[in-house]
């Protein structure tokens, strides 16, 4: 195990940031890769965990070694491929969350094209959403707090605009 000396206390402590390159454990570039026994069958699995995260971003099957009993050892090529795949999974999760929490519609009025957005704030103590409108030039027209259950559609946005941006029921 790699260790580092804490400058304040002078005590030797494990260095979680140090690179590790072992057959079943790699830690490098902000990621930890572990080859683990697959609970579902006799095979092996690999899990990729981003530093600072409690849960793995990716878990998948891992190849058996030549002896058909032990796992194939990790190597730099496999690690880099797994980092790329796990990073893509995290990126897709972030995009999906953003899509769930941020909605936008456009409404064409007689005088302008208006963008209406709904940004949901999933706060445990005070969940709410912000309904906002801006014109095609990007000038803010209105901004109000609404229930997080507010359904934004072209129809609801049009009704809001036509009401003079009164708080929806």
Express each pLDDT in 49-86 by its tens digit. Answer: 999 999 999 999 998 888 888 899 999 999 999 999 99
CB of 70 closer than 8 Å to CB of 64: yes
Is position 32 within any domain?
yes
Same domain for 88 and 152: no
Per-residue pLDDT at 20 exceeds 70: yes
Are both 93 and 154 inside the same structural domain?
A: no
Question: Per the domain annotation, does 132 fall within a domain?
Answer: yes
Lowest-confidence region among 14-23, 63-72, 148-157: 14-23
Could you give the CA distance from residue 133 to residue 154 in angstroms, rounded to a whole number? 12
For 121, residues 6+ apart whose C-beta sits below 8 A from its C-beta are 101, 127, 128, 129, 130, 148
Residue 19 and residue 88 in one domain: yes
Residue 44 lies in a domain: yes
Whether residue 4 lies inside any domain: the answer is no
Is residue 81 within 8 Å of 115, Cβ to Cβ?
no
pLDDT at residue 15 in the model: 56
Please give the distance of CA 38 from its chain centroid, rounded to a whole number: 25
Domain-located, residue 48? yes
Does residue 116 lie within any of the structural domains? yes
Q: Is residue 33 domain-resident?
A: yes
Q: Alpha helices of the chain — where are they, by DSSP H? A: 76-101, 154-162
The alpha carbon torsion through 23, 24, 27, 28 (nearest 10 deg) reads 50
Residues 155, 78, single domain; the answer is no
Among 54, 77, 100, where does a domain finish? Answer: 100
The reported pLDDT for the residue numbered 24 is 94
38 and 77 assigned to the same domain: yes
pTM here is: 0.64
What range defines the domain where residue 147 resides?
A: 109-162
């Amino acid at each position: 195990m790699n260790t580092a000396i804490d400058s304040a206390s002078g005590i030797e402590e494990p260095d979680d940031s140090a690179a590790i390159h072992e057959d079943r454990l790699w830690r490098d570039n902000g990621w930890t890769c572990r080859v683990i026994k697959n609970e579902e069958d006799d095979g092996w699995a690999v899990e990729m965990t981003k530093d600072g995260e409690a849960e793995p971003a990716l878990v998948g099957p891992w190849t058996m070694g030549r002896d058909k009993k032990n796992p194939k050892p990790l190597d730099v090529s496999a690690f880099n491929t797994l980092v790329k795949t796990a990073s893509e999974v995290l990126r897709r999760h972030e995009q999906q969350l953003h899509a769930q929490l941020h909605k936008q519609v456009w409404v064409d009025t007689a005088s302008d094209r208006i963008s209406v957005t709904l940004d949901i704030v999933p706060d445990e103590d005070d969940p709410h959403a912000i309904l906002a409108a801006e014109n095609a030039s990007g000038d803010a027209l209105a901004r109000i707090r609404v229930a997080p259950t507010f359904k934004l559609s072209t129809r609801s946005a049009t009704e809001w605009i036509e009401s003079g941006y009164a708080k929806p029921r």
